[in-house]
A and B are shown apart, each in its own frame.
Chain A
Amino acid sequence: MVHWTAEEKQLITSVWGKVNVEECGAEALARLLIVYPWTQRFFDNFGNLSSPTAIVGNPKVRAHGKKVLTSFGDAIKNLDNLKATYAKLSELHCDKLHVDPENFRLLGDILIIVLAAHFGKDFTPACQATWQKLVGVVAHALARKYH
């Protein structure tokens, strides 16, 4: 089980409290598809992904980005029980979606960069360290049911 200090929990919830889930989610997913274009293979039915502008403006990307980050919010509410929280999603990503877990790490790193762009200096080294730990743990939980 992952141990979270009081300070880490505080850093997570204080940042999360200021996050616009729809905006950040959309931006993180768009950047994933732009910076690592091979990830587009999971979104064949999303329509126009032909350029960064198309991706950023794509309503399906925005909607799905919001979904992904909303699920992240569930992780934050259940920091002490991530395994159970993500069990079904893990099965889904392995058995139905066939997503290489390496992509969870890529999305996590991108989310950190999006947060840094939004919060500037307020996204301190301590914030970054805590959030990198969080995205790592979420990625791990998502990969758990792979077989």
Chain B
Amino acid sequence: MLTCEDKKLIQAVWEKVAGCQEEVGGETLERMFVTYPQTKTYFPHFDLHHGSDQIRCHGKKVVGALGTAVKNLDNLSQALSELSNLHAYNLRVDPPCFVLQLLAQCFQVVLAAHLGKDYTPEKHAAVDKFMSAVAAVLAEKYR
């Protein structure tokens, strides 16, 4: 469960990311495709080369959605309801928590690389909990 302290830490991290969502998003996806090639199977229609416009745009979308989640930490289920439907019925990213965990790992690596020492253990823990909560909501409608 996200405590009050967790929520404050998540928001603090988000403030640092707000100005470079496209960059953070693009880098997260690129790292995911390079580190976990099996994730490319969900994007057969994308140009997956380094610097691809599609990766950058999609990365921006993903981080935008996470931003929505950050603004609605008290009501993740409702805030992510549409995306939950999308992932369950259309995208069928499988198995849900496992693959989203790979994205979460890469996202945290990008945050750590950007924030350095400022990505404290406390922020790390809060963001890790947040990403698990998001993954759980996205997986809600799977069956």
A123 at the interface (CB under 8 A from B): yes
With a cutoff of 8 Å between Cβ atoms, the chain B residues found around residue A55 in the complex are 121
**Any chain A CB within 8 A of the CB of B99?**
no
B113 contacts A121, C-beta separation under 8 Å:
yes
**A56 with B34, Cβ < 8 A, contacts A112-B109, A117-B112 known:** no
Residues of B contacting A114 with CB < 8 Å?
A: 112
A89-131 residues at the B interface, CB under 8 angstroms: 109, 112-114, 116-121, 123, 125-126, 128-129
- Distance to closest chain A CB from B117 (angstroms): 7
Q: Closest Cβ of chain A: how far from B39's Cβ, in Å?
A: 12
Q: Is A30 located at the chain interface by the 8 A CB criterion?
A: yes
Decide: A117 and B35 in contact? CB cutoff 8 A: no
B-chain residues with CB within 8 Å of residue A129 when the two chains form the complex: 31, 34-35
What class of interface size applies to chain B in its complex with A? 20 to 34
Most chain B CB within a 10 A radius of its CB, from A34, A35, A121: A35
Query: Which residues of B lie under 8 Å from residue A125 when comparing CB positions?
Result: 27, 30-31, 34-35
CA distance A52 to B31 in the complex (A): 29
Count residues of A near B (Cβ-Cβ below 8 Å).
24
B115 at the interface (CB under 8 A from A): yes
**A123-B113 contact in complex given A35-B128, A128-B35, A129-B35, C-beta closer than 8 Å:** yes
B58 touches A (CB below 8 Å): no
B105 touches A (CB below 8 Å)? yes
Chain B: minimal CB distance from A124 (Å): 9
Partner of A128, one of B34, B114, B121: B34
CA distance A121 to B31 in the complex (A): 12
B78-113 vs A: 1/0 string, CB under 8 Å? 000000000000000000000000000110111011
Query: What mask results when residues 119 to 142 of chain B are scored 1 for a CB within 8 Å of chain A, else 0?
Result: 111101100100000000000000
Binding site for A on B (CB under 8 A): 27, 30-31, 34-36, 105-106, 108-110, 112-117, 119-122, 124-125, 128
Interface pairs (7), CB distance under 8 Å: A34-B122, A112-B109, A113-B112, A117-B115, A120-B114, A125-B27, A128-B109
